[in-house]
Structure 1
Amino acid sequence: MDAVVIWDRVPAVIAGIRDIIVAGAAVSTATVGWKALNKWRDETVGKRRLEVAEDTLSAFYQVQEVIYDARAPFIAASEMVKEEGVPDDVVRDSAYGPIRRLRQSFEHIRDLRTKRHRFAALFGREATKPWDEIEAVLNEMNAASEAILSLRGQNIPPRDPQAQFIREQRQILARRLEDDPIVPRVDTAVKEIEAICRPVIRAWGRS
């Protein structure tokens, strides 16, 4: 090939190489940017999951403690104080004591309830089943208290047909050393939420 012809084509070749280099640099920059964006997004979601996991697990621990304390078998006389809108005979009934304790710690129960939907958004609706068990326990405690109070359970003799029912309701309201109907259920709910939250917390080196 004539040297002049080759020399004439050099600028076009150089321009082509330059375009390839520029295009390659653009692709490389875009790739790096995309990876950085994905990393930022993953870290942001990860930090949100960590925050929600820590807050939720803490809230479950608090409510577990609230329920445990509310079911303390002994009701002190100092707890049987008058309350506006509550009859004196109800205030003095031991079946009312656990419900009063729950109400006094209601901010912890409400806090746990408010966390459910955000938890579902990050971990899925199936992950919120532990809330159902806690709500079931709280509902059963309220129902047991109302049943005893409405049936005047303090005055039912042992041989009365309703005596066994009243005993079962009292077992819901007060802790037992053996065959407790509430503690294992609450503990299981906490373990289930731990199984979801603890790996997230560990992944960020928090525990």
Structure 2
Amino acid sequence: MADDREIARLFRVNKTIHELVDDRGFQVSEEEKEMSFDNFKKTFAPNGSVDRNSLNFWTNSRTDPEDSIFVFYSDEKKVGVKTMRKFIGILDDKKIRRGIIIYADAMSPPARKVITQLGQDYTLEEYPEADLLVNITKHNLVPRHEVLPKEEKAALLLRYRLRETQLPRILISDPVARYYGLVRGQVVKITRPSETAGRYCTFRIVL
């Protein structure tokens, strides 16, 4: 029973992380996003338990062939420096500078410090499995978020004669900002339903 719960948990995590990567503009097949639980179990848990290493994957951007992302599942429930070194080593071998590490329970302060220290050379993110059990952007209370290209951001500021500091803010730690991998200075368009206008849009800058 414990193994079945673990398989079901990792099935949900795997589905969400593929949707996340796809929503960020990276290549993900429909088969990967829509994989059934039975196929997941047959592919990744043929012996009754999941080898987390088999869930690792990397993919390229749909628009920039030079941009790739690597998703790494930690064997350690609590990530330490040793696992971080393994993670960075794989990124180096594949010549990838963008990566996401997923872990079961926690990340030690020294391991988290590695992410900060290597921030100039890599774009590294960490997610506990619990944060990926559901895709928060599919919740009916979460409005649609779209990242504005630089040209559209500039046009928005010019049209309304605004400075960046005058825009409403969304924190970089916001769950939706984390889902899309937003960085400081980006602007998101948020579309909400309206009883009178059908829908209305607001814009927020990431801080």
TM-score, length-scaled by structure 2: 0.24
Q: Which is richer in strand?
A: 2
Of structures 1 and 2, the larger Rg is shown by 1
Q: Could you state the TM-score of these two structures normalised by the residue count of structure 1?
A: 0.24
Higher relative contact order (CA 8 A, sep 6+): 1
